[in-house]
Amino acid sequence: MHEMSIAASMLEAVQAESTRRGAHVLAVGVKIGALSGVDSESLRFCFDALVRDTDLAPLSLEVEALPWRHRCRHCARDFPVVDYHTECPRCGSPETEMAGGSELEFAYMEIEET
């Protein structure tokens, strides 16, 4: 359960952005990859619990879930990994490498107009 630490890091970033702009942040968007090791529901729970008693409230969390993707080293095909099948669906090569899914990134913040 490290989602509480991650939610706390997110709030620090929102606080910094809010201070820098001198405006209230209404929402924060994040991208969470399937292999990021972060559970979106758990993150949401922790995020809401931490926000509640701060000046940042109300602040909503918008999560975009990104799939686990690989890219073929032979034919460069980029494909989603389903049921742990990492071999290339086009040329059949087993030599593929990760092309997405480990993301744990901010995407945007919604700022209140002043």
- Asked if 104 and 38 touch (Cβ cutoff 8 Å), the reply is yes
CA distances to 8, 21, 60, 65, 70 from 30, in Å: 14, 19, 11, 9, 21
Q: Take residue 73 and report the two structure tokens written for it.
A: 């080293």
Q: Of 65, 76, 90, 110, which one interacts with another protein (CB under 8 A)?
A: 110
Q: Is 56 in the site for another protein (CB under 8 A)?
A: no
Q: What is the CB-side half-sphere exposure of residue 86 using CA atoms within 13 A?
A: 13
Q: Is 26 in the site for another protein (CB under 8 A)?
A: yes
Which CB sits closer to another protein, 12 or 54?
A: 12
Q: Is 9 in the site for another protein (CB under 8 A)?
A: yes
CB of 104 to another protein, least distance (A): 5
Which CB sits closer to another protein, 26 or 54?
A: 26
